[in-house]
Amino acid sequence: MNVNDEYTVRIEKLSNLGAGIARVDNQVIFVENVCPEDEVKVKITKLNKNFANAKVIEILTPSQYRIKPFCPMQNVCGSCQIQFIDYNYQLELKKQIVEDAMKNIGNLTTKVNDPIASPETKSYRHKIQYPVSQTKVSERILAGYYKPKTHEIVNIKYCPIQPKICDDIVEFIRDMAPKLNISGYNEKLHKGDLRHIVIRYSSFNKKCLVTLVVNSTKAIEKYQKLAHLIFEGFVDITGVCLNFNKQKTNVILGAETVCICGDDYIEEKILDKYFKIGADTFFQVNPKSAENIFEYVKKEISKYNNPTVLDAYAGIAAFGIVISDVCKNVVSVEENKNSIKKAYEALEINNVKNVELHAKDTTKYLQSIKKKFDITILDPPRKGCTKESLDETLKHTKEKIIYVSCNPATLARDLKYLSENGCTVESIQPFDMFCHTYHIENVATIRV
């Protein structure tokens, strides 16, 4: 096998990163933008020691699960990788991705349940983060998602997976920014004004919070003017913020955010609890699917009689607050101080008295106490937990760990470690948080 060789292959399944898997003479080939059961003609683009990469030249016999994408930009935008696959079959593929991770990484035989579908498969994405740039000749502002595996922006005018008002706000900014002499950001030269447009949308009251990420350290007049124009232009915008990011980095938000007009948050409701979501607050992008997860976790915890619970990597303490009425007390630990500030506000709004907040790293907090909890909820970032945090969790948990994860690979790795240290993985329940992508959220219940 050599680069540029062509083969006819049948796609067997998807990898954990959404690429199709085929084989030629037992050599694994990864192919982008295909569906299992597709018969395709491919060209080898890269050879590695244990596998090859290939691109599709022609779809010879399409899979029965192939459909026409509802977004005309699907084939160029990097946001919805598998929108051309029937939604119910997407769920089957995601279950297979989780099963493969548990078997191959976690060495686990725990049954993976059927994924719980998202209540909405369009307009579900309620956090939008568009990078911004500018064309060289016409100096037109571009804002949208990146093309796959590039930093080339696809100028998105209409995105059916997010609420329409987000398209309208971005179009307004595209139009107004040049009139105020606000330029798009040039990533290579680290020049230009506007780096990102970030919008949070509330499924509860349909309001928006807009944050302009600027290549600056202060709120100069033209940025403030744009913020006021946006705020005045849309009745459903609660506030407009500026975030300052001068760093040469792919990290979207800088350390400082100021609210120029209105409020620096939107309100969201999960089950019967209310929350304030700020520009830099972690909160699930699909609130209705997230509500299914919260309900599932609360049901698991309610099986115990008045338990004590540790809510680790707590964010704005959403889990802690939602489950508070079936618990004796909850300790929510989160190192982001802005999130803890929003958590205190949520405690007051919901009149919750039995949740204790700590602005601290989870591992350091656990190392500083002797107390044990009946149940621990782990909701770490995509990279998962460290061995130190898992060790401390085991020391401080009596009955059960509930692990919420957005990454099957790191979840499988961490479940393997817990299993090797005396735990039993009882169940794994996937939830479809990111429709039309290969991503899948999971909740694992582990008996200590």
C-alpha distances out from residue 175 to 78, 84, 180, 240, Å: 24, 32, 10, 17
Annotated catalytic residue, options 80, 406, 423, 435: 406
User: Catalytic site residue 406?
Assistant: yes
3-state secondary structure of 134: strand
> Of 90, 78, 19, nearest to 432 (Cα)?
90
Tally of CA atoms within 13 A in the half-sphere of 141 that contains its CB: 26
Close Cβ partners of 439 (under 8 Å, ≥ 6 residues apart) = 406, 433
User: Which pairs count as long-range contacts for 41-50, CB under 8 Å and 24+ apart, including other chains?
Assistant: 41/6, 41/7, 41/8, 42/6, 42/7, 42/8, 42/9, 43/4, 43/5, 43/6, 44/1, 44/2, 44/3, 44/4, 44/5, 44/6, 44/7, 45/3, 46/3, 47/1, 47/2, 47/3
As a whole number of angstroms, the distance between CA 389 and CA 395 comes to: 10
Does residue 424 contact residue 108 with C-beta atoms inside 8 Å?
A: no
3-state secondary structure of 208: strand
As a whole number of angstroms, the distance between CA 85 and CA 100 comes to: 20
As a whole number of angstroms, the distance between CA 81 and CA 94 comes to: 13
Annotated catalytic residues are 406
